Amino acid sequence: MSKSKRLMDLMMTVNRKKKFTVKELATEFNVSTRTILRDLQELSELGVPLYSEVGPHGGYQVLNERILPPIAFTEEEAVAIFFACHALRHYAYLPFETESSSALSKFYFYMSGDVRDRIDEMKNRIDFVIPSRQAKFPYLSILLDGAIRQKVIRIEYGSRESVSARLIQPVGIYASSGLWYCPAYCFLREDIRLFRCDRIRSAVEDTSGTQPRDLRHLHLGNREALLPSEQQFTSLYVELSEEGVHRCEAEYWSATKLHRREDGTGWLEGRMPKGDIPFLAQFFIGLGTDATVKCPPELIDDIKRRLAELMARYG
């Protein structure tokens, strides 16, 4: 095997192993330890952050970073990756430890001149807008970690007035229009609930010994299963104008209920939990004349009540 190929392989190997001895590598690559030592020195000079300790149980370690081999991207691909990462800057909170900007600047730095020029021209011409919120999400990492390792997390949850302690087992986390949400099994309610991460006041791994449930079948790709199971349902039917259809398309919950007609108008039809009446009443009022609720009657009543209240307010 030629030296350059061996160096490449070595790069990968040390990144995979993270901890290793010279002898080990010498055996693996069928060269002498002297050669490996020389190679490692060269890798060091190439930027791989190696660290070594002498003595028994000593050996080499790779610090933190890992090397990505040369990858052939098309120009379009490189640009797309750049802007995807660029969009992350809109998120003040991310469940990754590192600032994504460091990755971005590395990526940018290594790109050849004309791709860089291309990116510079595009930088102020394209954007993925995400609402910037004041809300704080300091516990995304621990929630995500809980979801991955299926751990029970103890959180304090609530609004300004009332805070309650709960044990939850996160299913995952997702960001939607600037807010982070965490669907999770709630040991208090004994059902799946959706938590808004900015209302989580604290989060730590539970130490009381509560056994995690077996929720491996639940994940974000499996949304239907995330709905709370023990609720009273009623039937929803809403007529929508063309604009009403557009507005509903932006709503996560309506995807399965939305039907479209040839002429652009449409309707919502499906089951809805009774607990959603307040939310939906307000939502359909917001659609104005672009939505006409036909049933359930409870929803219509709530809409009427709210309209009356508003009328009173504006005299």
Partner DNA sequence: GTATTTGTGACAATAGTTGTCACTATTATA
Partner DNA sequence: TATAATAGTGACAACTATTGTCACAAATAC
Residue 93 main-chain phi, psi, to 5 deg: -125, 135
Judged by beta carbon, residue 32 or residue 210, the one nearer DNA is 32
Judged by beta carbon, residue 22 or residue 43, the one nearer a copy of itself is 43
- Of 88, 194, 215, 226, the residue at the interface with a copy of itself (CB under 8 A) is 88
| DSSP H or E segment with residue 170 | strand 163-170
Partner from a copy of itself, DNA, none contacting 304, C-beta within 5 to 8 A by type? a copy of itself
Please report whether residue 188 would count as binding a copy of itself according to CB under 8 A. Answer: no
Please report whether residue 163 would count as binding a copy of itself according to CB under 8 A. Answer: no
Please report whether residue 217 would count as binding a copy of itself according to CB under 8 A. Answer: no
Task: List residues bridging with 259 in a β-sheet.
Answer: 267
Neighbour-count burial of 218, counting CB atoms closer than 10 A to its CB (0-12 exposed, 13-18 middle, 19+ buried): buried
Please report whether residue 214 would count as binding a copy of itself according to CB under 8 A. Answer: no
CB 60 → DNA: shortest distance, Å? 5
Partner from DNA, a copy of itself, none contacting 312, C-beta within 5 to 8 A by type? none
Span interacting with a copy of itself, options 51-59, 62-70, 187-195, 201-209, rule CB under 8 A: 62-70
Of 6-65, binders to DNA (CB under 7 A) are 6, 21-23, 30-35, 37-41, 52-60
- Of 1, 76, 189, 275, the residue at the interface with a copy of itself (CB under 8 A) is 76
Please report whether residue 262 would count as binding a copy of itself according to CB under 8 A. Answer: no
Neighbouring C-beta atoms of residue 133, cutoff 10 Å:
15
Question: Which of 251, 234, 233 lies closest to 291, judged by CA?
Answer: 251
Q: State how far the Cα of 223 lies from the Cα of 130, in Å rounded to an integer.
A: 23
| DSSP H or E segment with residue 308 | helix 297-313
Q: Write the DSSP assignment of 268-291 as a string of letters.
A: EEEEEEGGGHHHHHHHHHHHGGGE
CB 52 → a copy of itself: shortest distance, Å? 18
CB 67 → DNA: shortest distance, Å? 18
Q: State how far the Cα of 13 lies from the Cα of 34, in Å rounded to an integer.
A: 18
Strand order across the 19-20 sheet: 19-20, 59-62, 50-53
Judged by beta carbon, residue 52 or residue 210, the one nearer DNA is 52
The footprint of DNA (CB under 7 A) covers 2-4, 6, 21-23, 30-35, 37-41, 52-60
